[in-house]
């Protein structure tokens, strides 16, 4: 391809790394801003990368200087510098979108204003333990206490199960900007990857996500025990939510499916997302292909986002030992339909995302049979 535009990415974790895998196949240069030897930089040999932090204004400016389009693989970035450079370089999605989404409470308020159903929430800014007890009276227990910012993989959430948990919750999250959310008594969780292009909004299939300790453990595509109609309703809701934001690229939309089959949006990620990893093997175009094409205004046929074959994705989290992820990858080598992705993060720390495995098969039941021993192994390695 004769596309000489350079892309700058804020963040060099596994999402950036998989974005580069897709960009490499199109001869597109991606410059990464993150620490030296971060996951993404390891697979991209050129001298355009920046060693620094995506939270640092000067570093963001340095990255933008040599790029045509700047995008993100994490939302916890300096959006003020992105606003400043937006006149000289294209920023996708818009810094406005990133600024709203990086604050979970602002994100919820924004979605509500745009007619997207979300769990009720209460701002706790500056309120102490008494404020939390007030929430307990209003929402009853359990309720979810959340940090508005810098939250990921459940680090920033605390389930307040009874009044006696209140002081512990304050202890764990007390130094962060907080809000409370009404408990969503969901039947299961769904997610949809949405692609926003210059022409409109497209969707990948609906996925069931299974979280353990607030961290995504598994995804099932199609979802188990969910009708086609509900899957389509989830895609429509995801489209509506993302339609409310400015800018191009892929977005992850996490949802709760309640027991009466209504849907609430849990949260939005303005970038590729864990719930979209399965697309690498299961769809003609992956979420990473779609992100690149969307920000570069290249064609994305909707049928390229279809499910070719049912898929299950299993996250490999750091376990009891520094090499637990390697043992899991080793075992997966024996499975003919297991695609293994390791992220180059070195030694495992308990709970850290070290890699993932995707199994695709002609039926979800066959994929489940092949994945089960690997799930058992992951459980036995848990830190
Ligand atoms: P991510 O890694 O997806 O960014 P996060 O740290 O931002 O995660 P959330 O998505 O807010 O965390 O919550 C993680 C999980 O905790 C959810 O997927 C869900 O299982 C549970 N959870 C979150 N909010 C609620 C709620 N209001 N009621 C019940 N469970 C909830
Ligand atoms: Mg989140
Ligand atoms: Mg989440």
Which tens digit of pLDDT belongs to each residue from 223-238? 999 999 999 999 999 9
Mean pLDDT of all residues in 307-320: 96
Going by pLDDT thresholds of 50, 70 and 90, the confidence category of residue 1 is: low
253: its two tokens = 């939309």
Distance of CA 90 to the CA centre of its chain: 22
pLDDT tens-digit profile of 158-189?
Answer: 999 999 999 999 889 988 999 999 999 999 99
- Ligand 1 near 152 CB (within 6 A): yes
Indicate whether this complex's ipTM tops 0.90.
Answer: yes
What is the per-residue pLDDT for 174? 81
Claim: this prediction has a pTM higher than 0.95:
yes
Q: 153 CA distance to ligand 2 centroid (A)?
A: 7
Going by pLDDT thresholds of 50, 70 and 90, the confidence category of residue 382 is: confident
Secondary structure of the chain in HEC code, one letter for each residue: CCCCCCEEEECCCHHHHHHHHHHHCCCCCEEEEECCCCCCHHHCCCCCCEECCCCCHHHHHHHHHCCCEEEECCCCCCHHHHHHHCCCCEECCCHHHHHHHHCHHHHHHHHHHCCCCECCEEECCCCCHHHHHHHHHHHCCCEEEEECCCCECCECEEEECCHHHHHHHHHHHCCCCEEEEECCCEEEEEEEEEEECCCCEEEEEEEEEEEECCEEEEEEECCCCCCHHHHHHHHHHHHHHHHCCCCCEEEEEEEEEECCCCEEEEEEECCCCHHHCCHHHHCCCCHHHHHHHHHHCCCCCHHHHCCCCCEEEEEEECECCCCHHHHHHHHHCCCCCEEEEECCCCCCCCCCEEEEEEEECCCHHHHHHHHHHHHHHHHHHEC
Closest ligand 1 atom number to CA of residue 267: 10
Q: Average pLDDT, whole number, for the chain?
A: 96
The protein residue whose alpha carbon is closest to atom 30 in ligand 1 is: 184
pLDDT tens-digit profile of 326-369?
Answer: 999 999 999 999 999 999 998 899 999 999 999 999 999 999 99
Residue 213 has pLDDT above 90, yes or no: no
Query: What does DSSP say about strands 201-212 and 186-196: parallel, antiparallel, or unpaired?
Result: antiparallel
Bridge partners of residue 340, in order along the sequence: 357
pLDDT tens-digit profile of 36-67?
Answer: 999 999 999 999 999 999 999 999 999 999 99
Q: Which residue did the predictor score with more confidence, 3 or 26?
A: 26
Bridge partners of residue 252, in order along the sequence: 193, 269
374: its two tokens = 């690997």
Residue 322 has pLDDT above 80, yes or no: yes
- Ligand 1 near 156 CB (within 6 A): yes
- Ligand 1 near 254 CB (within 6 A): yes
Going by pLDDT thresholds of 50, 70 and 90, the confidence category of residue 374 is: very high
- Ligand 1 near 201 CB (within 6 A): no
Give which of 222, 189, 208, 214 is closest to 317, Cα–Cα.
214
């Amino acid at each position: 391809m004769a596309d000489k535009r350079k892309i700058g990415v804020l963040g060099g974790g596994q999402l950036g790394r998989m974005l580069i895998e897709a960009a490499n196949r199109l001869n597109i240069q991606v410059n990464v801003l993150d620490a030296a030897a971060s996951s993404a930089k390891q697979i991209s040999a050129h001298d355009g990368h920046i060693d620094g932090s995506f939270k640092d204004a000067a570093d963001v400016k340095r990255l933008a200087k040599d790029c045509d389009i700047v995008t993100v693989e994490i939302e916890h970035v300096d959006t003020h510098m992105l606003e400043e450079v937006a006149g000289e370089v294209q920023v996708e999605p818009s810094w406005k979108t990133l600024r709203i989404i990086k604050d979970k409470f602002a994100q919820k308020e924004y979605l509500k204003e745009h007619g997207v159903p979300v769990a009720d929430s209460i701002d706790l800014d500056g309120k102490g333990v008494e404020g939390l007890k007030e929430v307990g009276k209003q929402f009853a227990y359990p309720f979810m206490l959340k940090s508005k910012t810098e939250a990921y993989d459940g680090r920033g959430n605390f389930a307040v199960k009874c009044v006696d948990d209140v002081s512990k919750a304050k202890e764990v999250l007390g130094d962060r900007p907080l809000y409370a959310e009404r408990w969503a008594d969901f039947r299961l969780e769904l997610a949809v990857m949405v692609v926003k292009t210059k022409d409109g909004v497209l969707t990948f299939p609906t996925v069931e996500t299974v979280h353990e300790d607030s961290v995504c453990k598994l995804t099932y595509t199609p979802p188990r025990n969910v009708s086609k109609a509900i899957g389509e309703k989830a895609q429509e809701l995801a489209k509506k939510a993302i339609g409310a934001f400015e800018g191009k690229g892929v977005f992850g939309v996490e949802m709760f499916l309640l027991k009466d089959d209504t849907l609430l949006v849990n949260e939005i990620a303005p970038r590729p997302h864990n719930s979209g990893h399965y697309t690498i093997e299961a769809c003609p175009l992956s979420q990473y292909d779609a992100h690149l094409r969307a920000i570069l205004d290249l064609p994305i046929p909707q049928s390229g986002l279809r499910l070719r074959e049912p898929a299950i994705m299993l996250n490999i989290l750091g376990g009891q030992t520094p090499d637990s992820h390697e043992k899991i990858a080793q075992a997966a080598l024996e499975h003919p339909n297991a695609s293994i992705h390791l992220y180059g993060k070195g030694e495992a720390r308990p709970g850290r995302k070290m890699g993932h495995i995707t199994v695709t098969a002609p039926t979800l039941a066959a994929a489940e049979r092949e994945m089960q021993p690997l799930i058992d192994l992951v459980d036995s390695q848990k830190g």
